[in-house]
Structure 1
Amino acid sequence: MEYLNYMLIGLLVFFLLQRLLPTSGVKQISTSELRNELKNKNKQFIDVRTAGEFKSKHINGFKNIPLNELNRKANELSKDIEVIVICQSGMRSNKASKTLKKLGFKHITNVKGGMSAWH
């Protein structure tokens, strides 16, 4: 019985780490690094927060594609151009990065800390 408990705890830790750790092959940048990237017109900037969150506060140059619509709207993006993804805290954008990677995007950057870290 004790072995089973350790096994369940191990699986739980594994799944939590899978969700929280950055996706392999996805670049991570800070909001201060993002400021320099915004000048580059050869990048796609995607905000995966809800339409309401985006409307209340967003960064100029970012396009709003809510996370729950990303699978359906990913064809609006070019797989050949880097995609920089932001959300409120970095969690949804990390999930969006995983989704984009599965869809065949090669150059994906996640903004650590998201809009909460943007000043």
Structure 2
Amino acid sequence: MRTYTVTAPVPDYTGEVAGVPLVRGIYEGPLTASALAYFQGAGYSVIPDEDEDLAVEPAHSEEPPPFDPPPGAPSRGASKADWKAFAMNDAPEGLRLTEEQAEALTRDQLAEKFLGKKEDS
């Protein structure tokens, strides 16, 4: 089975995300297809290990995997204050930001982090 190195967007996070144990923001090992899709869609760095048999490739399509926003996430056009509050308090535990991290991002960057990239009209 192919293994991956996953790096969380929140440095030094230790805990479980998508059923995967992250230690200091890093996980190395195999991923289920759903965990791989989640990490790729949620802004995590996902790098396949090169020492693995390359004949075993994860499923890939031209379309990005569907992205389910976290429960309680504000609308894309909500104020930065609403997005900061969500990012610091109500976001899933593995994705929560500190006040400094949330303040460093724009409203649109916060929305993109939790809702995915805005689709072109």
TM-score tier by shorter-chain length is: under 0.3
TM-score (norm 1): 0.24
TM-score (norm 2): 0.24
* Higher relative contact order (CA closer than 8 Å, sequence separation 6+): 1
Q: Which protein is richer in helix relative to its size?
A: 1
Q: Which structure has the greater CA radius of gyration?
A: 1
